[in-house]
Amino acid sequence: MTAAQRHRVTVIPGDGVGPEVTRSAVRVIEAAGVAVDWEEAEAGAEVFRRGDSSGVPSETRDSIERTRVVLKGPLETPIGFGEKSANVTLRKLFETYANVRPARELPGVPTRYAGEGVDMVIVRENVEDLYAGIEHMQTPDVGQCLKIISRKGSEKVIRYAFELARREGRTKVTCATKANIMKLTEGLFKRVFEEMAPEYPEIEPEHLIIDNVAHQFAKAPAQFDIVVTTNLNGDIISDLASGLVGGLGFAASGNYGAEVAIFEAVHGSAPKYAGRDVINPTALILSAVMMLRHLGEHAAADTVENAVFVTLESGAAVTQDLARQTGGDIEHAASTTGYTDAVIANLGRRPANPPRGRGHVRPAQSPTPRPAWSYAADAYGRISRRLVGVDVMIESDLSVAVLAADLEAAAGPALRLETVTSRGTKIWPGEVVGDSVRWYTGRFVAPEGGVEPDEGEILALLGRIGARHRWTQVERLQAFDGQDGFTKAAGE
């Protein structure tokens, strides 16, 4: 593409400081000579206030369907109440499954790791995990959130990470999981990574437990190249990574899918600074650089990125967050507008000491996932299944001994009560441990050597339990190709 070509982009100004940083990014893009037809759209707090529980109105969805590219300011997310995050909704609606967050040492930004060459990219799975947002109140005081990890979702983001490494000439991809504890969910992500790594023989694959990744980030962050991880892990460690290179004011990100890409700063809406013209717009300007590369405007992207580097290197226009870090004059720090003016004035210049490393050069092509054995239609159909039993979650004020006796009596001829657990710990048979939270799980399995229970027997079991107790949920216990598809409780 050339600078003469016009691009259509949906721009969502956002909440809080969003309109200010978005205006800065748009000004810089236009000053760099990129021709963009902007379609302004809404999402976030104002939409929620009007009664749209999604936070993303149909007009915004229509615009994104047309343009396929979004530049977005931060959106306000209520904490602990209200509807789902509009940020998460946008990512899920358009299946932008790869969240890409570079963390690179920047000139003029003091850090504890200056000179070590920190230059990594966090690739975070973006639509699954706990962020699927499937939550239930099991009782008035016990909440549950389902952690969803699929083989297909894992393969898509892991392949994206390897393709990105190949495209940029990076030599290592680190998979970060908590597979030592969550063996079926995080463990699946790890297994998919290990299955796919041989397809990229020139790239070193590495697996680390996520808490060790956090430890190593603090200890020696320059060892990392590309880190691929699950959604919640990625959200946390990408913020940690931004802290290594100056903070959220410098943290850019792109959300990539097969059809749509959404570019946004990592930081939030910071409502206490809204309208004061003091926020650092670097994060969204660098997100716009990622957007320009996505659009094929590589020369303009380089021009804008170099102008940011020159501005930071010179120290002539220092926003208040950077002034605090450097011990500078906060009272006379550059405004958002003044900093943006400085970046525009520096377009066409190059820094005297550019950052070490590659930075985030180009997005990987969003690959069409190749069928893996577990979801290719022919192989999927060959997986053997066996129903072992059911877990039934129950709300009760009874003592464990009385509850267990009742559940044993309810089991019937086709099933037997194997254990009663509380929050993942076995409390029957044997010693009762832990505090009661009025929520228990009875595990019912077929007797040793017995036949697989049928649907009628499971429904009859639930009817017998329901006649005496309030049950809140049932989970099927299945074995696939002879391997248990469920975990045991602590103490078993």
DSSP letters spanning 362-430? SPPP-PPPPPPTTTSHHHHHH--EEEEEEEEEEE--S-HHHHHHHHHHHS-SS-EEEEEEETTEEEESS
pLDDT of residue 323: 79
Q: Is it the case that residue 404 has pLDDT exceeding 70? A: yes
Q: What is the pLDDT of residues 3-57, one digit of tens each?
A: 468 999 999 999 999 999 999 999 999 999 999 999 999 998 888 888 888 889 9
Catalytic residues: 131, 178, 211, 235
Name every residue whose Cβ is closer than 8 Å to that of residue 168 and which is 6 or more positions away in sequence: 358, 360, 361, 362
Q: What is the DSSP letter of 14?
A: -
Tell me which of 1.10.1450.10, 2.40.37.10, 3.30.1540.10, 3.30.70.1570 is the CATH number of domain 384-484: 3.30.70.1570
Using only C-alpha atoms, what is the Rg of the chain? 26
* CA distance linking residue 251 with residue 253, whole number of Å: 7
365 or 306, higher pLDDT: 306
With 0-12 / 13-18 / 19 or more C-beta atoms within 10 angstroms meaning exposed / middle / buried, residue 237 is buried
Average pLDDT over residues 79-97: 80
Q: Of the candidates 247, 244, 286, 241, which has an alpha carbon nearest to the alpha carbon of residue 265?
A: 286
pLDDT of residue 466: 96
* CA distance linking residue 334 with residue 321, whole number of Å: 10
Band (81; pLDDT cuts 50, 70, 90): very low
Q: Is it the case that residue 59 has pLDDT exceeding 50? A: yes
Residue 409 contacts residue 196 (beta carbons within 8 Å):
no
Share of the chain above pLDDT 70, in %: 94
Q: What is the pLDDT of residues 101-118, one digit of tens each?
A: 999 999 999 999 999 999
210 or 359, higher pLDDT: 210
pTM for this prediction: 0.92
Residue 261 contacts residue 284 (beta carbons within 8 Å):
no
Q: Is it the case that residue 172 has pLDDT exceeding 90? A: yes
pLDDT of residue 88: 87
Lowest mean pLDDT among 50-54, 131-135, 394-398: 50-54
Q: Is it the case that residue 406 has pLDDT exceeding 70? A: yes
Same fold, 6-345 and 384-484: no
The domain defined by 6-345 carries CATH number 3.40.718.10: yes
CB atoms < 10 A from the CB of 309, how many? 23
- The residue ranges of every structural domain in the chain are 6-345, 384-484
Q: Is it the case that residue 381 has pLDDT exceeding 50? A: yes
* CA distance linking residue 67 with residue 62, whole number of Å: 9
Torsions phi, psi for 187 (to 5 deg): -65, -40
Q: What is the pLDDT of residues 266-301, one digit of tens each?
A: 998 999 999 999 999 999 999 999 999 999 999 999
Coil vs helix vs strand at 151: helix
User: What's the token pair of residue 391?
Assistant: 């877990």
pLDDT of residue 257: 95
Lowest mean pLDDT among 155-164, 398-407, 483-492: 483-492
158 or 326, higher pLDDT: 158
Looking at every residue in the chain, the average pLDDT score rounds to 91
Average pLDDT over residues 367-396: 78
pLDDT of residue 3: 46
Q: Is it the case that residue 234 has pLDDT exceeding 80? A: yes
With 0-12 / 13-18 / 19 or more C-beta atoms within 10 angstroms meaning exposed / middle / buried, residue 238 is buried
